[in-house]
Amino acid sequence: MPVELLTTTEMADADRLAAASGIASMSLMEAAGAAVARVAARRLHAAGGRRAAVFCGPGNNGGDGYVAARLLREFGFDVRVATLVPGSRLKGDAAEAAHRWNGDVENTHGLALNDTDLIVDALFGAGLRRDLEDEAKRAVETIDEWGRATGRPIIAVDVPSGLDGTSGQIRGACVHATETVTFFRLKPGHLLLPGRTYCGHPTLAEIGIPTSVLDEIAPKTFINEPGLWHHALHLPQLGGHKYTRGHAVVVSGRMPETGAARLAARGALRAGAGLVTVASPRDALTAHAVSLTAIMVREANGPAALAKLLADPRKNGVVLGPGLGVGEETCALVEIALAPSCGTKPRAHVLDADALTSFAGHPERLFAAIQASDGPVVLTPHEGEFARLFGSLREGAKIERAREAARISGATIVLKGADTVVADPDGRAAIARNAPAWLGTAGAGDVLAGMIGGLLAQGMLGFDAAAAAVWMHGEAAKRFGPGLISEDLPEMLPQVWAQLIADPNAMTFRT
């Protein structure tokens, strides 16, 4: 399945490259309109409906709508068309599509909808970059209000009108679609919030653009699915042993904040690390010892003791932050862990929660330590922690904020949420779409930090480990279902692993 996501600029490049290869742009519009018509016909048949209204805009999105209207009429449906602009003002393929409709066209504000069974929203496509106003906004609101009042289907062409296809932001008003038919590749706005909540069911249609255009476009935004990182998983080998699978260390805070470290440690172990050790302050040793079995506990009472523990080169992955406490001692622990590993194999690091907040007043100190480190570093902030660490990046599209944070810090960024974005300093970014609502529970982020640490300890690179852990985390929550608490997540990972090993393609995003 295609994991690439195309920005609106990249999609325009795909159209241009297809035309340069000899594919007529009008044939692409005909194929797009036909895909929309098929989806609309399926919906009408399922509901026993016969009457469709197609709202067409001033550009190629409107042209797709005219094609869909013509084909729906040929299928035998009663079709009416409304437009924001007269056909005489259309240009290029859109003008030709309007000419081929050869039927009545009404104004968007004059079309009666009381007997309509389905609406095709072809007003504005993914390239909308400014807020809707006046008649355009009223048309979008009319469609949306009709859908809410009747519960009948709205089929959006490319994106629901009002949605910025690159950022996922709403431009003044937006249609809540029942199904969105998009072309060649999904757009980031189909996955990013709030846009994802407006798209309904996304359907991807191939319209004749050759996949070879991606070689020149070289997209760097992806759906976070196994097809993106499955090749990088380090699966156990028959001749291996626990040390070949890595040794992750989770640094614990003091009493009574010890549960978060244990959650992270369990996540690391279930993610596949061969060994996991909790590095514990002296006052928390007993609490850990009575709660852990397969996970080891070692005393590390302060920065100097942690440095001594990490002198063992086999300890190649470190997780800091869950329940660690906010303050100067945490900053010192982070700097000790990030210090270059003196000629031995580089260590990997995950910094979460308190390990991030402790640097809120002086983020440049953290970034300097990251850039001096000789191993991969992954930061896992939620939006609040992100704002405290990257205050200048509070505004704008989530994916671009995460990318810029990765560039500034030199670390892989996991900007958490229902649409978690993983961004790497090299510009790659992946958007998750498999996190269920019940994953928002106390401790879930601690488990995720541990899972990333466990995959890093096995030798995965930062971006691959972070993306894989985010997807596995969401899949584990989906498999458990409602009622999930954070302790359940590691225990669902064997099922996720079994499916990844048996058939990785069975769990990829299907269109």
Model pLDDT for residues 396-451, shown as the tens digit of each residue: 899 999 999 999 999 999 999 999 999 999 999 999 999 999 999 999 999 999 99
The confidence score (pLDDT) of residue 243 equals 85
Sign of CA dihedral 263, 269, 272, 274: positive
Q: Number of helices (H) and strands (E), helices first, in the chain?
A: 18, 18
The confidence score (pLDDT) of residue 511 equals 28
Segment 249-274 mean pLDDT: 97
pLDDT band at residue 508 under the 50/70/90 scheme: very low
The confidence score (pLDDT) of residue 510 equals 32
Percent of the chain predicted with pLDDT > 70: 98
Percent of the chain predicted with pLDDT > 90: 91
pLDDT band at residue 110 under the 50/70/90 scheme: confident
* Residue 301, CB-side half-sphere exposure with 13 Å CA sphere: 5
The confidence score (pLDDT) of residue 504 equals 57
The confidence score (pLDDT) of residue 509 equals 36
Residue 349 has pLDDT above 60, yes or no: yes
* Residue 117, CB-side half-sphere exposure with 13 Å CA sphere: 16
Residue 295 has pLDDT above 70, yes or no: yes
By three-state DSSP, how is residue 313 classified?
Answer: coil
The confidence score (pLDDT) of residue 416 equals 98
The confidence score (pLDDT) of residue 157 equals 98
pLDDT band at residue 238 under the 50/70/90 scheme: confident
Segment 207-236 mean pLDDT: 96
Residue 374 has pLDDT above 70, yes or no: yes
Token output for 174: 């937006």
Q: The whole model's pTM is what? A: 0.95
Segment 186-209 mean pLDDT: 98
Instruction: Judge whether 251 and 279 are in contact, CB under 8 Å.
Output: yes
Instruction: Judge whether 170 and 142 are in contact, CB under 8 Å.
Output: no
Residue 392 has pLDDT above 90, yes or no: no
Q: What is the DSSP pairing of strand 105-107 with strand 296-299?
A: unpaired
Residue 258 has pLDDT above 90, yes or no: yes
What are residue 387's DSSP bridge partners? none
Domains along the sequence of the chain with CATH:
4-219 (3.40.50.10260), 226-233+242-504 (3.40.1190.20)
The confidence score (pLDDT) of residue 505 equals 60
Average pLDDT, the chain: 95
Distances (CA, A) of 471 to 52, 220, 321, 421, 464: 39, 18, 21, 11, 11
The confidence score (pLDDT) of residue 241 equals 87
Segment 491-505 mean pLDDT: 88
Segment 68-76 mean pLDDT: 98
Q: If residue 366 lies in a helix (H) or strand (E), which one and from where to where?
A: helix 363-372
Residue 342 has pLDDT above 80, yes or no: no
pLDDT band at residue 387 under the 50/70/90 scheme: very high
Cα–Cα distance, 107 to 123 (Å, whole number) = 12
The confidence score (pLDDT) of residue 343 equals 59
Closest CA to 122 of 74, 78, 168, 72: 72
Q: Tell me, what amino acid is at 203?
A: T
Inter-axis angle of helices 259-270 and 444-457, nearest 10? 40
Cα–Cα distance, 378 to 332 (Å, whole number) = 18
